[in-house]
Amino acid sequence: MWKFFEWAWNLDWGEGFALLAILFVFWYGKKWIDNRFSGMNKRSKREMKALIREAMDEWSSECRYLTQEQGDARYYCSKPDCEGVEFTGEN
């Protein structure tokens, strides 16, 4: 690696700028390939977040928290200090 730096230090200005341009193209190409072919890009992440949010909203629409209006219902909670959740569906 050190030999590369010695070689690069002794380059002419024109060759140095050409080397920098080539290194930049390789770096940009690597980033493009990584973003293009990685598992999840920004669009996939946005779609996944919207899907999970929709599922959470759908689930929470079917239950009522004890901090809201009280009524006759069965509450399920595994912790002694938990406020609990009322499930409206049959179990």
Domain coordinates in residue numbering, the chain: 2-62
Give pTM, 2 decimals.
0.40
Q: What is the DSSP string of the chain?
A: -HHHHHHHHTS-HHHHHHHHHHHHHHHHHHHHHHHHHSS--HHHHHHHHHHHHHHHHHHHHTEEETTS---S--EE-SSTT---EEE-S--
Taking only the tens place, the pLDDT of each residue in 35-60 is 777 777 778 888 999 999 998 888 77
Taking only the tens place, the pLDDT of each residue in 70-82 is 555 555 566 666 6
